Every structure is written in structure tokens, then in C-alpha cells.
Amino acid sequence: MYIAYSALRTKPKNGKPDLLSKELTQRYRGYQTACNKYRAEIAEIQKYIPGWLPPFELKA
């Protein structure tokens, strides 16, 4: 999950990361909710494909 979250961040001049937009924040929360809802199914898939996570598309 951290990888998907970090993909949504930018590095402004002051060095502190900032979310790109409110829409992306909402989309990430939706992705996180879906991953939590299907946690058991994801765990089953990861038995065969270690480290697999559902894709999160960044549409900025």
C-alpha cells in the first residue's frame, strides 16, 4: 500500500511531500478500502504470486 500512496506524492521546493489533489486522495482511499475488503482474496493470490497487489492507476 505504501508504494501506491507514495506514487501519489510530489516533492515541492520545501522538501515536504504533498498529495497531488483531493481527487487522488479519494481514489487512494477507495483503493485502500477495496484492498481491505478483499484482504483474504489478495492473500490467496499472493500464495501463487508473492508480493502481488491490485494495480492502482495514477490518472492525474
pLDDT digits (tens, 9 = 90+) for 25-44: 888 888 899 889 999 998 99
- Whether pTM > 0.75 for this model: the answer is no
How many helical (H) and strand (E) elements, i.e. helices and strands, does the chain have?
Answer: 3, 2
46 has pLDDT over 60: yes
| Residues in CB range of 10: below 8 A, 6 or more apart | 17, 18, 20
pLDDT given for residue 27 in this prediction: 84
Which pLDDT does position 37 carry in this prediction? 92
Across all residues in the chain, what is the average pLDDT? 75
